[in-house]
Structure 1
């Protein structure tokens, strides 16, 4: 596995540690927020605003990273901000402070994502993008197995003591910060354009981007517009009567499947095509959300989350590998940042709409609507988007 360079390993371990911190809190977050007075609708708005902040900043900082020809400083700053936001949510429990802390956490993600993914892309060849991004996703998601497992053990020993977890989560975040300083930038030429980068300047990339990029991203964004935060999946199984421990256990199981499958599916995607694996992932997503419209036992939800883990493994890293293969290397951070910027705006709308649909009509209609729309997106990719080759050049 010579294609897994030192930089890829360092980035992957940083992501693992950060996910240990973040995912230790993620399955507890909706329970904690409800315990301090947040409604389902307010949780949806909180998650939507937080993700929109991450998305818009991904585009801006991605563009800035490309213009300056630097990756490491953005990665270091982003992971630092996310780590520092964790204890704030435990110290200040008023809604405004929760909104600010959660937004700061997502801003850190926005600062680092474009630069990090561009650095991963720089370390790979077009023929190994699937496996490189897949390996990173596997390591990243392994942290999402360890984090909730630690939370599960802690809550078993100290039931309902949610706030202390936010302080515990600060420790792996600090380790990630330290590890990020082992990253070194490759020598890259800065772009000659010295024009200051405005916050929304990355939007201009859409007009000049390759046609295939616009077609692929359009399909991805329609899907995202109806793909709300995973918080709603956790709320669904919690309302079905599962205990806190069972809810976290199902989430750990999902992340374990995701972590185990992402790297092998990345290798498979390099062999048979990124598009085929991505469409297969969308089909699994349709099955999961259609299934979530009904109520079942812990085994029923366990099966759905098994499929959900396979879906995530087949789409998350694959979509970024696909985008990096159909855009100019010099614009990788901008291309991924532009996509994730629009994606997070759509996620904001999706989470808010899902929260409203759930509150007004119930969970069945909310999940069923997402399943129907996603099936339409699946057909769009199948019938309208050409399968990318390993050495596909950007089409203007």
Structure 2
């Protein structure tokens, strides 16, 4: 198979959406980098306050992904939903600069994450709508790579500003600049094809009308999500093993760098070998990481290998899950489908980190990371068992039109 010509997928829309992800991640990650210190040193908030802020915000983000996906399909428009999400996320994050108590931070973070939730399925639907089916892996891999590069740049930028004399409040205010650039990238440079609004249906009625193969995939992704714990647990495990926090942070930088590089590379590979194959390999890679951390010792080469493999696996997962979803969803239901995937991932992230952390605390890392590996293995088994159904033709769901047929690899 020949390589897809670069120009066939790197359109103005794809580039603009990638830049929006880059700038938006720089914006909110700048704030996130200094937020714990700001809460502890200036607001004098307790760890419980930080936990409440992050937990409530993450929960709202998951719910609003579902709302935003349904809304973009219901309106027949993607761009207004996406732009509004970028604008509100930016303004709400910058509002931290005015906070005098932690409940104000909670309000701003909750609003920012709600908006981040409702914009994500609209952005993903825009991306899927703008390229051909064979280019999904390229486009989603590129977007995820740009997002991760933003996550790499933001802490460096925030720490550089602190060293230059900026205060925490200055950094929150300066986060307006990249956040505004993100909103402008979508508003000015992304074009949207006209589509008709969908017939009036409730959110849950819309979800029930999603294709059955997508529901099977959602179940697979949900089971895997129960074992996809937060990467901060890897940092904690490395700190525990080495006794050197600076080593653990350096390993985390390796993780982010590998993730950024692999997201695009594996998205490109999916065009050749198939998105389900790349996703399965990524699930397997993360399962091996969990097993490795269950029994790891203070061995620097082994830790380097495990963190690099974790970045490789997460890069593939974050690029391939929306790619497979786009292959399984009709265009008219992509917003709702991406919202359902985002909600399932959000709930899985919350439960997995809680379960792995609790099992680790109660019975040791072998049990905590072993549970994660078990969930990863079950999801791999389901992916293999249901592979044939996940390759069923995609059908366009409308009330008056026949369904069109295409087959994902």
| TM-score normalised by length of structure 1 | 0.85
2:400: which partner in 1?
none
Unaligned runs of 5+ in 1: 196-200
1:190: which partner in 2?
196
Cα-to-partner distance string for 1:348-383 (whole Å, 9 max, x where unaligned): 333443444455445554333212221221222123
Between the aligned partners of 1:101 and 1:363, the Cα distance in structure 2 is 35
Go from structure 1 to structure 2 and tell me whether the alpha carbon gap of 1:289 and 1:395 turns closer, same or farther (over 3 Å shift): farther
Q: Is 1:60 matched with 2:61?
A: no
Give secondary structure in 1 for the equivalent of 2:188: coil
Deviating more after overlay: 87-96 vs 76-85: 87-96
2:141: which partner in 1?
134
2:57: which partner in 1?
50
1:232: which partner in 2?
233
Between the aligned partners of 2:187 and 2:258, the Cα distance in structure 1 is 31
Between the aligned partners of 1:351 and 1:31, the Cα distance in structure 2 is 23
1:209: which partner in 2?
210
Deviating more after overlay: 374-383 vs 60-69: 374-383
Unaligned runs of 5+ in 2: 1-5, 398-409
Between the aligned partners of 1:101 and 1:209, the Cα distance in structure 2 is 33
1:378: which partner in 2?
380
1:116: which partner in 2?
123
Shift of residue 62 of structure 1? 1.1
Are 1:70 and 1:185, in contact at CA under 8 Å, matched by a contact in 2? no
Q: 1:147 aligns with which of 154, 164, 176?
A: 154
Aligned length: 387
Are 2:217 and 2:390, in contact at CA under 8 Å, matched by a contact in 1? no
Give secondary structure in 1 for the equivalent of 2:131: coil
Give secondary structure in 1 for the equivalent of 2:195: coil
Between the aligned partners of 2:168 and 2:233, the Cα distance in structure 1 is 19
Between the aligned partners of 2:39 and 2:224, the Cα distance in structure 1 is 27
Between the aligned partners of 1:157 and 1:295, the Cα distance in structure 2 is 39
Q: 1:350 aligns with which of 341, 349, 352?
A: 352
Give secondary structure in 1 for the equivalent of 2:345: helix
Shift of residue 288 of structure 1? 2.0
Give secondary structure in 2 for the equivalent of 1:181: helix
1:313: which partner in 2?
315
Deviating more after overlay: 284-293 vs 295-304: 295-304
Go from structure 1 to structure 2 and tell me whether the alpha carbon gap of 1:45 and 1:354 turns closer, same or farther (over 3 Å shift): farther
CA RMSD of aligned residues (A): 3.1
Cα-to-partner distance string for 1:197-253 (whole Å, 9 max, x where unaligned): xxxx4333342221211111101011213323333334444555334x555443332
1:175: which partner in 2?
181
| TM-score normalised by length of structure 2 | 0.83
Cα-to-partner distance string for 1:238-280 (whole Å, 9 max, x where unaligned): 555334x555443332222122122221121121111110011
Q: 1:303 aligns with which of 302, 305, 309?
A: 305
Shift of residue 57 of structure 1? 0.8
Give secondary structure in 2 for the equivalent of 1:182: helix
Go from structure 1 to structure 2 and tell me whether the alpha carbon gap of 1:337 and 1:192 turns closer, same or farther (over 3 Å shift): closer
Are 2:352 and 2:372, in contact at CA under 8 Å, matched by a contact in 1? no
Give secondary structure in 1 for the equivalent of 2:298: coil
Between the aligned partners of 1:180 and 1:38, the Cα distance in structure 2 is 38
Give secondary structure in 2 for the equivalent of 1:386: helix
